[in-house]
Structure 1
Amino acid sequence: MKKKQLGRTDLHTPPIIFGGNVFGWTLNEQESFEMLDELADRGFDMIDTADVYSRWAEGNKGGESERIIGKWMKDRGAREKVCLATKVGSSMQQGGPKDISKAHIIKAAEDSLKRLQTDYIDLYFTHWDDNKTPVEETLEAYQLLIDQGKVRYIGASNLSPERLRESLDASREKGLPKYEVFQPEYSLMERNKFEGEIRDICKKNHLGVTSYFSLASGFLTGKYKSKSDIEGKPREMFLKNYFDERGEKVLQALSGIADNYNISEAAVALRWIMNRPGITAPIASATRIKHLRSFHQAIDINLTEEDMQKLNEASE
């Protein structure tokens, strides 16, 4: 499987990154181990998680995904075989305050390292901005972690264009660590959060880009046909706003192209992202081993210009 360089780091990712939000949420520990084993066997060796995953499940408090990944890596002796990304800045309490202060980052990093049962993180993301901590303070915290060998590279997710630009300027002007990767929400259903100013900043500063919610929380798999299909489901809060005229157009376009190539809608949606300018690799999750077939289909298929245009027009 051909890998791609993440920005200007020496980290390389397979064409699709596996999203670890499902571990401890829609997959229990045993199921998570089975999925991780399969991913390793197939070469999908970059895992993206966060300290707050998977707090959404009833009874969870956050950190469950990291704990499962850490336990699996130790049990399998697999730490050196995995490129591991995790994040800091969200609150362990649903709706709680964001925090990217130096004190919080240092403590949160130590907590993540313990859960992951490792002494270093390959790629550490600012998950959400608190819009108050000076960017220099946040970057100084990362400098300390890098100097200690606990973090190799840093990235940012969900920053505004202004705060991302300010952070990159501070890195250049004050000799602080630079965000090397940006992680926006990006899919056929959510294009505005990346296309435009953010994409231009990433290109100008040679940032790798890894998109999250690449399948729009499962909407783009074609599994859900109406709001009644998602009632009471774990992903209802993410999916409920997609059932409109635009969503229907996107699903119709996906279905037609998928039928033409005899592949899944998910594969087409992932390939669309992989073909888009500025993208290094999309992040996607799966809850069944058989769903990984879509990953391989996305990697193997070549969409035509006409296919891409149909998807672009349906999703505008």
Structure 2
Amino acid sequence: MEHGVTVIKGTEFDVFPLNLGGNTFGWTSNREQTFAVLDAFVAAGGNFVDTADSYSAWVEGNEGGESERELGAWIKERGADKLIIATKSGALEPVAGRSREATFKAVEGSLERLGVESIDIFYYHYDDEAVSIDEQVAIANDLIAQGKIKHLALSNYSAERLAEFFEKSVGTPAQPVALQPHYNLVSRKDYEENVQPLAEKHGVAVFPYFALAAGLLTGKYTSKEDISGKARAGQLDRYASDEAFAVVTELRAVADELGVAPTTVALAWLVAHGVTAPIASVSKVEQLKDLMAVKDVELSAEQLARLDKVSEPFA
């Protein structure tokens, strides 16, 4: 990939340091908006999109698979060589869980909706403790052997099960190439204590979700009053606290110093902490600019230290 700047170890992929979230496709973005966002993302050098079979089953009237279908329509018109696609399974009925039957059926469904022959990076979206790690590794090895997926990645596994997965899969095609944890300035502790050591030990790529804390780290909200009545109020409430708003204040100060948006600084902080490419999504083209700017922003040691300190309550 000519615009790729970060290599995913164990793969043939170089990725732009922003992983575009596809959760908005077929939800807050209609087809025209989805195509416009993807076109602009690629034009700006982006090449890596993250979706899941369960996007957007939470919307009334949707059944899941909407995001993959919209992405598949774009791929059909623009070509599969323009993007690296990651998708996930594990949460969508009736193919939830990690059994062999459910996982194979989920992959077949994703392949059909995306209109591709093989999924570049396939995540086990959630663990299923009813299925042993040995069996989960065997299922992934078979999916890779059959050419249905190219590489495996993991999300939402406990540190113990992650460690076991790496141990049981080492040296096999199913050895995970990436992790997708919950990580941002106001959600640090679990990742930094439990997941980051494993990511570093095994040299895997890290693509965190909720990189902007459901929008809190865009800098738009500086108090609980700002959040009330907003469409994302339910998601934002989980982060809203005096300590979190102190982080937002510092984020805005650093952004002003650099002449960029707080969004860009929040993503740059993740990259400075070893993240390969944070996941963030947009509904409109004009929102992309601040995400893509992460490629050109480097925080000074002093700015990084300030952000680390103000976010210590979350570490």
What's the TM-score once normalised by structure 2's chain length? 0.93
1:40 paired to 2:54 = no
Percent sequence identity over matched residues?
A: 37
**Which residue identity does 1:134 align to in structure 2?**
S
CA distance in 1, matches of 2:222, 2:155: 30
The 3-state SS of whatever aligns with 1:193 is helix
CA distance in 1, matches of 2:257, 2:137: 48
CA distance in 1, matches of 2:8, 2:192: 19
CA distance in 2, matches of 1:261, 1:179: 36
Q: Tell whether the 8 Å contact from 1:25 to 1:56 is kept in structure 2 after alignment.
A: no
Q: Which runs of 5+ in 1 are unaligned?
A: none
CA distance in 2, matches of 1:83, 1:107: 22
CA distance in 2, matches of 1:285, 1:296: 11
The 3-state SS of whatever aligns with 1:266 is helix
Report the counterpart of residue 267 of structure 1 in structure 2: 264
1:182 CA drift (Å): 0.8
Report the counterpart of residue 146 of structure 1 in structure 2: 144
1:123 paired to 2:132 = no
Report the counterpart of residue 289 of structure 1 in structure 2: 285
Report the counterpart of residue 66 of structure 1 in structure 2: 68
1:208 paired to 2:205 = yes
Report the counterpart of residue 109 of structure 2 in structure 1: 111
CA distance in 1, matches of 2:21, 2:6: 17
CA offsets 1:116-175 (integer angstroms, 9 cap, x no match): 1111100000101122211121122211211111110000011101111111111138x4
The 3-state SS of whatever aligns with 2:121 is strand
- How many residue pairs match? The answer is 310
**Which residue identity does 2:18 align to in structure 1?**
I
Report the counterpart of residue 305 of structure 2 in structure 1: 309
1:58 CA drift (Å): 2.4
CA offsets 1:91-129 (integer angstroms, 9 cap, x no match): 348xxx950111110000000111111111000001011
CA distance in 2, matches of 1:40, 1:297: 14
CA offsets 1:171-216 (integer angstroms, 9 cap, x no match): 138x462111111011101112310231111111111111111111
Q: 2:169 aligns with which of 168, 171, 176?
A: 171
CA distance in 1, matches of 2:143, 2:81: 19
Q: Which runs of 5+ in 2 are unaligned?
A: none
1:288 CA drift (Å): 2.0
CA distance in 2, matches of 1:59, 1:189: 33
1:231 CA drift (Å): 4.5
**Which residue identity does 1:285 align to in structure 2?**
S
1:229 CA drift (Å): 4.2
CA distance in 1, matches of 2:308, 2:82: 37
- Cα distance change, pair 234–99 in 1 and its aligned pair in 2 (3 A): farther
- Cα distance change, pair 182–71 in 1 and its aligned pair in 2 (3 A): same
Q: Tell whether the 8 Å contact from 2:4 to 2:14 is kept in structure 1 after alignment.
A: no
- Cα distance change, pair 17–241 in 1 and its aligned pair in 2 (3 A): same
Q: Tell whether the 8 Å contact from 1:139 to 1:176 is kept in structure 2 after alignment.
A: no
